[in-house]
A and B are shown apart, each in its own frame.
Chain A
């Protein structure tokens, strides 16, 4: 932790944001309008000059239930990929005279493949997150806040530590936040580098110093979370939406997306892969894939789009035709995928989908916590089959075996959402591009027969004889 604040700190970051300041306005770009084009960090003074902590000030003057109602009306949905209404989640945190005040935990363990949005917010504008956490803490009566930050985000860690110190010195954290009588402080916790820590209950276990195994739900964290106390866990971007809701009102926020989507507000969209200009854009939620891909300058010279993931490695592959869909939680869900984090990964016709999928599934297999059987033992098997297909050493039946795996590690069958997240790209890739997989299979003749004698062979042989 830093112990003092450099007097003239102008930390500067390499920004992935592709919108100039002139385009980003207070009333249309609540997440990014304060960011500087040069990527320099927005410190406390600058943040306050740009109407910072106004939302928090409003929240501190309101009853917790009114804040929750505003979040519900604004329809802020979980930007970590789950899409669950933040207001509803906050309303489920148990409160009562005989219950202890619990924790407000920010999930900043941004590790979803192809996702780099929270990093931008934490590096360049950490006070927006702190303000969001104060609002959430107020709404959830939380006593203490933790930011569970991805360990590799060392720049974000520096920026956040500095901001927490700044906020404490300014009386915005600690006892009696901004003179409101409400106590709340925040600690930064950097993770040791496991994808599963992004699962909120595994995150809580890790925060407690235990193995990062997810917990069974129910009970939900709002009932019994960190150290058994009521706990609310929100993603960075979700929390960063709260200040504008509290400053400008729920209706204003809901209007941001106009008629593009039922969901409210803006979304940090992004693109990675073989496009001309990968990056991030703050756009109304419900913007189409085309719009975003166009902003990224389309595919790179010589490449055409084969398929794309709408929001990270654990979302399902979509086809070019799906680019015209509005990218919001409900719409994408209807096409066998999920909005996820809203950061597109594009795949070129010249890239091997099998290799890409093998890479993804190896990642998911490696990141399994090892708690439940389908995930722990199913994913490595699927990854090994993909590896043989990639090398042209697959066997007949492998595709069916992969499909069987995808079906048997789905929601409800496994302990948490990790394996279902791994199942989605696997299932969708085979559904859309079965031929790519079939190409990796060595026909039986070439190998001199099946490795396992089964009934079908015998039956076929008998038929030939008769």
Chain B
């Protein structure tokens, strides 16, 4: 701790911070540009100047940059000093000399840090009277727009993109006042974190293209705290809505999960909920399609269920716990399926078991960054849980901080820390079949077939603890790697093991179990994090449902005759023939979904579900954190004809109709309580979020107080103004009415705004300290993965797989996760579809030679009855005998099965079709 004196007041602060960080944490306003809480100080913009005095008797003082000055004990500074204020106004005046002042047409306007800082410093009159230099802009892909003329040269973009996120295709060119921040040539920004540039950039150089397509100012959007549904990490987001459609996704600060950054799938993959073809009214599919109102739909649904002898309910890992639970209640425990394919569910169960055994604790994503050695078994994080890839990168770069501390360099001195450490990293080992984005900073990346990844894992465990089972017939290279990795993990203070179900290999998970048990036996204070696939995969694994195949079997075998499918497209999970067979056999199919999926098309009755933006619910992320997402807007307010309801509401209503009871409709609070009560493992989920505040307390506003047009936006429907939609379920009001301040502890923050702080930098007002936790505590609660005493022994000892062996002309198939296009809902968003690369299958160079196939040539993959023609990409280092496919191109592709590859007839190079 240190005491600093600011404008005559004494404050206790963390002395390891710089003055800017310390003052912002105290709630004092100092303008700044180049500094960022996640990226430290570089002293470039000179905006955060304050006056510093030698001691209390010094009346002269001198101007210093607060970001580059330690908050040393007994520091005396003045923010409110005439010289410092004048200098800060000059800095903005300089920055604005070439700025185009195009705020009215700029997408950043209204949440622009440059606007905020210009107002804060009081620069209001332009004295620069000469011409401005101009730049040409670049096409940077479907996500991020580029307008270099607005640039104020703060260098934040390149520091984030390259230093923080490890990108290589964004740079700064030129010098003096002719700097250019862009790519060496036009093209799609390669980093999966490029979207953060829209928030990192203090002005409108990098803006959200998807937002611009249906643009609305920040102050005109309606928000709610939400949770990203596009993978299992559970990043906190703020979707912004106007006129009944979501216009953009912003990062919602969470101190333990996502901090300041999202991945591009999470940020830009939302547009599927705005699709025109979304079902918005119940549909009865007979000879044709008949739309129904709610009551007739429920009647028909109840009839359909009544006629059935046995109804199977198929839940979904992309639906909320509450909806899944209501489905389970409707169909009964024995008839409930998680909607997850058996192979994946086996992995989920194995992961839940490993977590419950608790050999090593599960770190939060933020905690991952403080681990000093990382082993990744069978995951490509940038594709399977992208945000975590960023966390692992920070963990690996953490070595810099150790070195800096040894040499007395403050950790916030970003460039100095980087310079000192150069290429010194904490060790990272990756075992995966294919190349991964993190290979560039790994100590070793081993390209192995999944069974060999498992064998490596078992071997590492044996090296760590001799009592762990040894691996028979291990090759020398793997043996050497195992030794090296074991040594590195044991040398570390806090080794981190990352694994997961991406390859659907229980063998890899068994090996992971052995490694963490071995580390626990050596009393290592390590961590284990296992990647799950979907937003609520972890939650569904705790709900005790049958795997999808088992459920469908009941119908195919005639043990059941009707199905209720909740927010799940069966055709995305199993081969077409397998699903067709079941659905052909079923007498009745009710589908509740917010997307017009292939399964929806087969339904007798389709009930349109509310998406994450239109209802409340709870998800459990991969660390076992139950998190609440809240309804952003009421779709009926602007589209009175639509009949969207939460899955859990439809299911409760179906049950009521079935029982011909006219009881009270289910409230969200009751839906949460029911689920928590029925599942001991989920007992904590009630504290994942908040219900309506106590009577008499102010509700929270969903919109900024400048929200415009509220009373006129329905004028095209009716000139009479109905009452605003009411929300008795949550602490939020559907309007700008209610509290949106930061002077009380907050944890449910729909949008961050504070007087003078319109940009995302306003989050600093809502945290207990800058870069810390939300003032009311970070939202969510961990329900799973609680640490118990490590059980002894190695239960997987007899499950060590044999070494992978090439099978002549057959290839082992592995589906690899794919960030863009590999997830079914976000793949329906235009921007994601545009960003997704053309899928291809991959073979090693030797295998391609053996097939006499060339790069780019089309090969036909045959797996059982499924055939798929796809272009070949030769990946030289891929293990021989494997063929890999990106996720999302061959539903239900059997991971680990042996498939054949044939040259597509007529596509042989050099032999043109007649």
Contacts and interface: CB of A to CB of B under 8 A. Distances in A.
Interface in A374-431: 374, 376-381, 384, 395, 401, 404, 408, 412-415
A216 B42 CA distance: 8
Interface of A: 94, 194, 211, 215-216, 218-219, 223-224, 227-228, 365-374, 376-381, 384, 395, 401, 404, 408, 412-415, 451-452
Nearest to B155: A371
A224 B409 contact: yes
Interface stretch (B43-51, B336-344, B371-379): B43-51
A384 B133 CA distance: 13
A219 B420 contact: yes
Interface stretch (B104-112, B172-180, B197-205, B244-252): B172-180
Interface residues of B, number: 42
Q: Give the 9 A-B residue pairs with the shortest CB-CB distance, closest first.
A: A377-B94, A228-B420, A368-B176, A224-B420, A384-B130, A370-B179, A370-B175, A228-B422, A373-B46
Contact of A224 (B97, B98, B129, B407): B407
18 contacts: A224-B419, A228-B419, A365-B176, A370-B174, A370-B179, A372-B45, A372-B46, A373-B94, A374-B46, A374-B91, A376-B176, A376-B179, A378-B94, A381-B97, A395-B129, A408-B87, A412-B62, A412-B63
Interface in B73-95: 87, 90-91, 94-95
A395 B130 CA distance: 12
Contacts of B94: 373-374, 376-378, 381
B706 interface: no
A374 B64 CA distance: 14
A391 to B, nearest CB: 13
Contacts of B64: 412
B543 to A, nearest CB: 52
B413 interface: yes
Nearest to B41: A216
A380 B44 contact: no
A219 B407 contact: yes
Interface string B49-64: 1000000000000111
Contacts of A414: 46
Given A373-B46, A415-B43, A451-B129, A219 B409 contact: yes
Contacts of B91: 373-374
B587 interface: no
B43 A216 contact: yes
Contact of A376 (B68, B177, B407, B422): B177
Contacts of A415: 43-44, 46
Contacts of A408: 87, 90
Nearest to B45: A373
B294 interface: no
Contacts of B176: 365-370, 376, 379-380
A328 B888 CA distance: 75
B602 to A, nearest CB: 59
Given A219-B407, A228-B419, 4 more contacts: A367-B176, A368-B177, A370-B179, A371-B44
B177 A219 contact: no
Nearest to A380: B177
Interface in B170-196: 172, 174-179
Contacts of B47: 373
A413 B128 CA distance: 20
B724 to A, nearest CB: 46
A381 B64 CA distance: 23
Contacts of A194: 175
B421 interface: yes
Contacts, number: 106
Interface string B398-424: 000000000111000101100111100
A305 B810 CA distance: 91
B153 interface: yes
Contacts of A452: 125, 127
A401 to B, nearest CB: 7
A399 to B, nearest CB: 14
A374 B89 CA distance: 12
A227 B127 CA distance: 43
Contacts of B45: 372-373
Contact of B49 (A228, A401, A413): A413
A216 B415 contact: yes
Contacts of B90: 374, 378, 404, 408
A94 B406 CA distance: 13
Contacts of B408: 219
Contacts of A412: 62-64
Nearest to A227: B422
Between A216, A223, A227, A414, the greatest number of chain B beta carbons within 10 A of the residue's beta carbon is seen for: A216
A210 B341 CA distance: 51
Question: Most chain-A Cβ atoms within 10 A of its Cβ — which of B46, B91, B153?
Answer: B46
B181 to A, nearest CB: 11
B125 to A, nearest CB: 8
Contacts of A376: 94, 153, 176-177, 179
A223 B422 contact: no
Contacts of A368: 175-177
B409 A377 contact: no
Nearest to A94: B407
A240 to B, nearest CB: 29
A404 B94 CA distance: 12
A372 B44 contact: yes
Contacts of A451: 129
Nearest to B33: A373
A380 B416 CA distance: 29
A224 B46 contact: no
A414 B421 CA distance: 26
Nearest to B173: A211
Best-buried of B42, B43, B47, B177 by chain A (most CB within 10 Å): B177
A211 B162 CA distance: 14
A295 B540 CA distance: 92
Nearest to B158: A211
A415 B192 CA distance: 33
Contacts of B127: 401, 452
Nearest to A217: B416
Contacts of A371: 44, 155
A218 B130 CA distance: 37
A374 to B, nearest CB: 6
A273 B885 CA distance: 73
Contacts of B178: 370
Contacts of A216: 42-43, 68, 413, 415-416
Contacts of A379: 176
Contacts of A372: 43-46
Nearest to B47: A373
Contacts of A377: 94-95, 97-98, 177
A215 B97 CA distance: 25
A366 B133 CA distance: 14
A442 to B, nearest CB: 13
Contacts of A413: 46, 49, 63, 87
Contacts of B422: 227-228
A215 B44 contact: no
Contact of B172 (A211, A227, A384): A211
B751 to A, nearest CB: 30
Contacts of A94: 407
B416 A224 contact: yes
A194 B176 CA distance: 11
A412 B66 CA distance: 12
Q: Most chain-B CB neighbours within 10 Å: which of A227, A368, A415?
A: A415
Interface centre among A211, A367, A380, A412 (most CB of B within 10 A): A380
B415 A370 contact: no
A321 to B, nearest CB: 30
Contacts of A374: 46, 90-91, 94
A384 B132 CA distance: 12
A381 B128 contact: yes
Interface in B382-441: 407-409, 413, 415-416, 419-422
A84 B3 CA distance: 34
